[in-house]
Chain A
Amino acid sequence: MSNKELRIALAGNPNSGKTTLFNALTGSNQFVGNWPGVTVEKKEGKMKGRDGIIVVDLPGVYSLSPYTLEEVVARNYLVDERPDAILNIVDGTNLERNLYLTTQLIDLGIPTVVAINMADVVRKKGDHIDFDGLSKALGCKVVEISALKEEGIDDAVEACIEATLKAAESKKHLPMHSFSGAVEHALAHIEEVTVHNLPAEQQRWYAIKLFERDTKVLDALKLSDETIAHIEEDIKACEAELDDDAESIIINDRYEYITRVVRKCVKKKNASKLSTSDKIDRIVTNRFLALPIFAVIMFLVYYISVSTVGAWVTDWTNDGLFGDGWHIAGSDEYDAALDSYGNEMLFENTELKDIILSANENGVLGAEELNIAFADKDYGAFTEAYGSYGEKLAAEGFSVAEIVDPVLEGEPSPADYGTWVPGVPALFDKLLLDENGEPVVAEWLYSLIQDGIVAGVGAVLGFIPQLLVLFIFLAFLEACGYMSRIAFMMDRIFRNFGLSGKSFIPILIGTGCGVPGIMASRTIENQNDRRMTVITTTFIPCSAKLPIIALISSALFGGAWWVAPSAYFMGIAAILISGIMLKKTKAFSGEPTPFVMELPAYHMPTLGAIMRSMWERASSFIKKAGTVILLSTIVIWLGSKLGNTGDGFGFALDMELENSILGYIGGAVSWLFAPLGFDSIKAAIATLMGLLAKEEVVGVFGVLDFEGMSALEGYSFLAFNLLCAPCFAAMGAIRREMNSAKWTAFAITYQCVFAYAVSLMIYQVGMAFSGGLNIVGLVCAILVAALIVFMLVKRPYKAKNN
């Protein structure tokens, strides 16, 4: 063993805890999801603390039949590469179903150790498993583990090594399970005729598979027609005797054997009583309650993450850490000083009052906010509204800059009150400015650092608290078992429209990042359904889109409770509507993929597991901000300073955005977005840069200032950016999964057109209701809505020969 690496394969049913055990054994941090199908490919890792042991995590399978992708991956590895030992993870709460695979693994002739996972849950239920009895009945070592709590794992690995060494010595395989006489007779014949030249321990599995007429094995063994005809006689004789087909005979025989073993080795305390999980499921997956419960849960997740807990901390990171700074003590004194300064310098000014009132009467964007803040004598709200809409007012001939700007310049410094901690920009100021407030470096460099990098990267990083809260919720929902219920529930809804619930698992994964979500679609066997899932997966808001939602929600809707949850439900609706529409077309028609899944028992996840999952996602976000986003902000800053200076092409710090390179690029495409309400150069640039990484939408506004959008325009902008083509990385994943340039182009085009249609409807209908009716725009929006309704109700495509 010292010269050779020992390979231990982890095999088991989906969601039995293989990846959790793999992580515990190897110390790696592979993604663990409490729903089936999380692992599709096998993964290898060196065992921590033990040299020479390689652990291979196989996808979860119910059997070794080569029907699904997971089964093919697991079976090919076990049969072709033959690991030294198999550690079969068995869910102790569901022995009957799990042992079916165990009997097949044992037949492979590879030393196998059965690890009963979740034994603590079994004990808690009051059930008793006779491990020795089970070991004798199965003919292999049986150990008890808790992968989650990392208990019993060393014993399981020791048992694996022991079993491997024993098998290496004896080279003999004795199956404990015998089929009925007729089957054993046929198997003996098949072994003798076809596989007698194979190693003894492999003969039985091949014989069983030949008996089952497994086409993959028939192809692999390259048997002559004569031999096949010969064994076919044996199989047919057995089928006639037992009055069933060969595959069913083997399946029934295995289950009868398992029932006998379980009856002998497991004592159930309350066999007929419903478990706690079953009781919860009676409510959570109830036909009528499931959807409202799901809506309430996801509403709370997004509301709490974006509008409450997350927003409170984000306000501090945006205004404090990446803003001017924050008070540890003395903020009340400062607020009082600011209020009295505002009263004295601003709110007594009748000229200012008249201009704002007049602007408000003329319906100038932002004047209402300024007017309310003025009437309330709220200095903070007034300066914020001025920052957002000051230029808009000036452009409409209601400039208040001459009155307000000097007041802003002379306002009391927060650093003079209480204990003040400067923010990151202030720290950079300390490094880059001299005592007179002049930069010690060239002005362009100061601007690049402060207005470009710090503002851009800071704008993105400022949303981390909201992301952390969202990640905690998502990790909890995944780990406790609720996410599986969503897929189950969605299957019920999807199936009514000819769609498969299997499409929903990639979408659940896509909530973190669209790329693995798109990759996960490969578990869908039906090509049409797979393509449809690839197209629709990125409609669900990924974590990179959360900052856009949070920005629009806080800046334009004052953190309204409904904005963030509506973005999530918009994604779900887009998936459902697109799915139904696409399914009606010839290219996507057909029966939906069958979806069978086991609902795992609910369990309380450990704090460590949730924190690990949260950190895994958050650290990636931070790394991205420090790399792609940082470089992008430099490019944005440079693009906004290079352009037509009046004397030709050149660099100017005070370059008007319209004259810069960015201005030309944004201006060239901004007209496209005019019917959607956001035809400004900044919004166009933000949308384009979002293709690089969706966080960059917020980064662009950090560098170029976010201003001048109405709430309706902002929501339309949000809808378009949530639903349009994803980032380049996700587009690459679409390209890989589609494996066709034509289909990739269709997917991207469909996403953009769909996003455009949704934004158009939101903006034009919204305008009609808010008094800004545009007849042409509204007619277009109604036509688009009518087309969507037509596609939804139209009869599905049916092939002529059907």
Chain B
Amino acid sequence: MKYTDQHEWVEVEGDLATVGITPYAAEQLGDIVYVELPEPGKSVKQKDEVAVVESVKAASEVYAPLSGEVVEINASLGEAPETVNAEPAGAGWFLKIKIADASELENLMSEEAYQQFVEGLD
């Protein structure tokens, strides 16, 4: 798994990247009440705003960790946004991107780097 400094995670399988927000982000946001996802088919560039996640008192943008086309979204979050709190790195995934440029993966943080980054924040 790879990470961004905006607290998104990415898991790559072939040319497909699954994207979600990290357990740290989910914890900081508190109870998530709504997730706004893009239409499948949308093309995004790395660091574009691609989704919005809302708690009661805050709305935060989720940025595309990689460029490509959104090919699938986790529609179940519409009915059950609480999944993001329960399983941020699993069933609470947001969307899948067909990767346009694999070299962008190099801009992302490793697990270890991200942990260090988070510790630095507190």
Is B one of A's binding partners?
Answer: no
